[in-house]
Amino acid sequence: MTTTALIALAAASATALAAPTHPEGTPTPRSLTAEERAYVAQHPIVPPALRATAPPPGAVRAVAEYEPMEAIILTHEGSGGWKTILDQMAAAITTTGDADVWVYCDSATEQNTVNTRLTNAGADMSRVFLPIKVTDTIWCRDYGPQYVYEHGVRAAVDHTYNRPRPNDNTLPADYANRRGHLYYDAPLVHGGGNYHLVADSTGYSTELIDNENPGLNEPDIVDVWADYWGVLTTITDALPASVDSTQHIDMWMQMCADDHVVISDWPAQPGTAQDVVCDTWATELANRGFTVTRVPARTVSGTHYTYTNVVICNDLVLVPTYTNGTIVSAGYNATALATWAAVFPNKTIVDINCQSIVTAAGVMHCICKHIPVNSGGENPVAHLRAPNGGETYLPGDTIDITWISDDDHPFGTDTVADIELSINNGATWTTIATDTPDDGLFSATAPDVYAQQAIVRVTVRDTDGNTGSDTSDTAFTIAGCFADCDGNDALNVDDVDCFVAGFLGSDLAAADCDGNGALNVDDIDCFVASFLAGCP
């Protein structure tokens, strides 16, 4: 930086700085720009606890990138060379990769441009979605949503982006809203490329995460990932910032199976700090039972050339290649392609020239975000949250029936729900709502019955007629008057006859007074006591 530039930067820091801007076509790097760094010095990233939501109330499982994927998110930003890479990625993903592509566009004009570009690139346009929302940069790996399954239902989990790029920071909520997906906002400042997941609910992040969250100690950070993502996280060393300005783990590691990892090697720069970090963690993961494959990496004139920054999408693997003379003469492109072909012998390896973007501290993995498939396939998925067992209601009480759901349709707005109640643990059912909106809440009135084996079932149905359902895990109680067997609000011999008929007919709903699922003399004693006590 020149003396004049340093003086200008110092003068700017002495006064309040305006928020950085990111004009269309600007090749903003993955790392902080000088303008952004100065701004953050005056305006640290907002503590995420001020905007966080509560964690998922149910058990969650984070999704690894090598699992089945429905879609990839891209953002149409950056230079012309960067956009060419996006075009090529979208074409491969929607054809060979058997997945949809969502390309965020800043305007309707840009939407038309992208439509033409992707058509010309050979993308399957039936699998392309072009939502309009302003974004700042191309690096959606770092700010896009991370997906989990909550009881089989997809949910987007967000974090505070570690860059002063507000339009980027709001993309996860926008995407979840468009899809009708659950959305959780975790109290963590983070860049998503600094995390790799394994499908066994473990994950890895570099120590950069400690620096980004000075208000949290490392166990606190690990707890946040456990609470919101259901993941046990290992914090690794980071590459020196002089080698990789982002210090993100995806620049030197890629998980490709539950027990297989690819890690960079530095054959031309042995013994360097970056080589030591990669060798150390290759040994550590091998000791943890992983098969470890090494792929070359190198820094040339301040640029980190990586071959771990790949995109795995179903049966497709996108691998970056480069035209830098040093890299080409070393044969690294060919070595990397052969390595990935050996790692994934049953997948299609597609190389894309990423020379135009690698100098901005990231490659293809950095500019996309994975969206997993609906766990039910073509069928909707439902999870009943309440009543889920153990509750007690009086006749006339409001029973708030709550659930979450998911479907394979691109927009989750065309499903309806049917709600049923059983007072005999599912032996028979009564419909209490049909074709109610699939919005996760239906308020029912507890009937005037006595039931210790009450359960609810919610069934979600899409326009294709596919369904998915869930019931209460265990029974709840409706505390009506058991002795009023015929339900006419008066106790007389008819109730005795009703109970006797139920007892002799093994009708649990009519005769299982103590609610233990078996008829015996205890139920007779229970009925007599209830009859003599009278009903309120």
End-to-end CA distance of the chain: 85
In a domain, 42, yes or no: no
519 shares a domain with 473: no
Number of domains in the chain: 3
- The domain boundary, picked from 328, 344, 372, lies at 372
389 shares a domain with 365: no
Query: Can you tell me the distance from the alpha carbon of 307 to that of 313, in angstroms, rounded to the nearest whole number?
Result: 16
345 shares a domain with 386: no
426 shares a domain with 445: yes
Contact 303, 358 (CB under 8 A): yes
- Residue length, the chain? 536
In a domain, 9, yes or no: no
In this predicted structure, what is the pLDDT of residue 495? 79
In a domain, 226, yes or no: yes
Q: Range of 241's domain?
A: 59-372
In a domain, 24, yes or no: no
Question: Please, which residues have CB within 8 angstroms of residue 517's CB and are 6 or more apart in sequence?
Answer: 425, 453, 508
In a domain, 120, yes or no: yes
337 shares a domain with 404: no
Contact 429, 421 (CB under 8 A): yes
423 shares a domain with 361: no
Q: What is the pTM of this model?
A: 0.90
Q: What CATH number corresponds to the domain at position 427?
A: 2.60.40.10
Q: What CATH number corresponds to the domain at position 138?
A: 3.75.10.10
In this predicted structure, what is the pLDDT of residue 291? 98
- The domain boundary, picked from 307, 337, 372, lies at 372
In this predicted structure, what is the pLDDT of residue 517? 75
335 shares a domain with 209: yes
439 shares a domain with 336: no
In a domain, 469, yes or no: yes
In this predicted structure, what is the pLDDT of residue 309? 98
504 shares a domain with 426: no
Contact 470, 499 (CB under 8 A): no
In a domain, 158, yes or no: yes
In this predicted structure, what is the pLDDT of residue 512? 83
In a domain, 47, yes or no: no
Q: Give, for 33, the enclosing helix (H) or strand (E).
A: none
- The domain boundary, picked from 323, 345, 372, lies at 372
- One digit per residue, the tens of pLDDT, for the chain of length 536 reads 444 444 444 444 446 788 999 998 889 999 999 999 999 999 998 766 666 789 999 899 999 999 999 999 999 999 999 999 999 999 999 999 999 999 999 999 999 999 999 999 999 999 999 999 999 999 999 999 999 999 999 999 999 999 999 999 999 999 999 999 999 999 999 999 999 999 999 999 999 999 999 989 999 999 999 999 999 999 999 999 999 999 999 999 999 999 999 999 999 999 999 999 999 999 999 999 999 999 999 999 999 999 999 999 999 999 999 999 999 999 999 999 999 999 999 999 999 999 999 999 999 999 999 999 999 999 999 999 999 999 999 999 999 999 999 999 887 668 999 999 999 899 999 999 999 999 999 999 999 888 889 999 999 999 999 999 999 999 999 988 887 877 777 888 887 888 888 888 888 777 888 777 788 998 888 888 877 877 76
414 shares a domain with 366: no
In this predicted structure, what is the pLDDT of residue 366? 98
459 shares a domain with 429: yes
The stretches of 149-272 forming alpha helices (DSSP H) are 166-169, 171-179, 208-212, 218-229
238 shares a domain with 209: yes
